[in-house]
Amino acid sequence: MAHSYDYSCNLRKGLPVTILTISLYSDQTGQLEAVVEANALTAIKTAGSAATATELLSRKDSSRLAIIGSGMQAFNQVLAICEVRDIRHVVVYDLDPAQAEKFIGFLKASDGFDINTEVAQSADTAVSKADIVCTCTTSKKPVFHVSRLRLATHVNAIESFSPDMQEIDADTVLRSGCVFTEHVDGLWAAAGDILKPYQSGLIDRSKVTGSLGELLSGSVTGRKSQEQITCYESVGSAVLDLALAVETYQLVSGATNRNI
């Protein structure tokens, strides 16, 4: 019997809402070489992918970042995006204002982080003046209304990784001039943000412009005008997770000559 996963259960216990463990085996002997608890690596990987999308799709003069959600994923998103854009103001919204304040404290304690920050009273308020928006929640309904998005905003929809989840509304998808993801086929299997308007007949498959790899190679065009809303829909990449796990294992163990 299939069961729906209750993300709030882990939250109440102070546990991560997503749990990732990667097993690494020798390609010569089949022997188990390492078991990697990869939650932190996945957050770094996802933030790096989103930052790459942000660098390629957001306006170069983008300086205001809105973060919806305040978990590990959100923390890495802020740090990664600050590497590719000159962010001068970060606005954070969380259903728990105390958690948002705590999150900002973690940011300010990070080496080299000296950026104006504030807690927003609502997600709509947070996105209303943002150049870049990152949604980092496990929500099953849109966390902000498209009417509050300004023209030319870039949106990173990070956590809608199952068909029943939805962080951005259908109108945000419709208004986006381009939509990119890690793997297009994976998106159509998992991303509720895109699947819900598709299943309602509001969009067809041509709405998804292409993959991040195609954008990087230049085979597909990204932003076409300064006024365009752009969207990056993250669905995850097992290949990148595995590559980071191998690199981390080799770095920690010094086993650079082992074949995994």
pLDDT in tens, 8-28: 566 667 666 667 788 899 888
pLDDT in tens, 33-57: 888 887 888 888 899 999 999 999 9
Among residues 90, 46, 44, 49, the alpha carbon closest in space to that of 67 is found at 90
pLDDT of residue 38: 77
pLDDT of residue 10: 66
Among residues 81, 192, 191, 80, the alpha carbon closest in space to that of 131 is found at 81
pLDDT in tens, 199-245: 999 999 999 999 999 999 999 999 999 999 999 999 887 788 888 88
pTM: 0.86
Of the chain, the end-to-end C-alpha distance in Å amounts to 35
| Order of all β-strands in the sheet with 89-93 | 116-119, 89-93, 64-68, 132-135, 154-157, 229-233, 176-181, 210-211
pLDDT over threshold 90, residue 29: no
pLDDT in tens, 153-189: 999 999 888 899 999 999 999 999 999 999 899 899 9
Mean pLDDT for 52-73 is: 96
Looking at the DSSP bridge assignments, the partners of residue 25 are: 32
pLDDT in tens, 101-155: 999 999 999 988 999 999 999 999 999 999 999 999 989 999 999 999 999 999 9
pLDDT of residue 67: 98
Contacts with 147 (C-beta within 8 Å, 6 or more apart), sequence order: none
pLDDT of residue 39: 80
pLDDT of residue 2: 40
Give the pairing of strands 32-37 and 21-25.
antiparallel
pLDDT of residue 50: 96
Looking at the DSSP bridge assignments, the partners of residue 154 are: 132, 230
The count of C-alpha atoms lying within 13 angstroms of the C-alpha of 254, restricted to the half-sphere facing its C-beta, is 0
Q: Which residue has the higher pLDDT, 255 or 113?
A: 113
Q: Do residues 152 and 146 touch, judged by C-beta distance below 8 A?
A: no
pLDDT of residue 255: 64
Pull the structure tokens for residue 199: 């299943």
pLDDT in tens, 93-103: 999 999 999 99
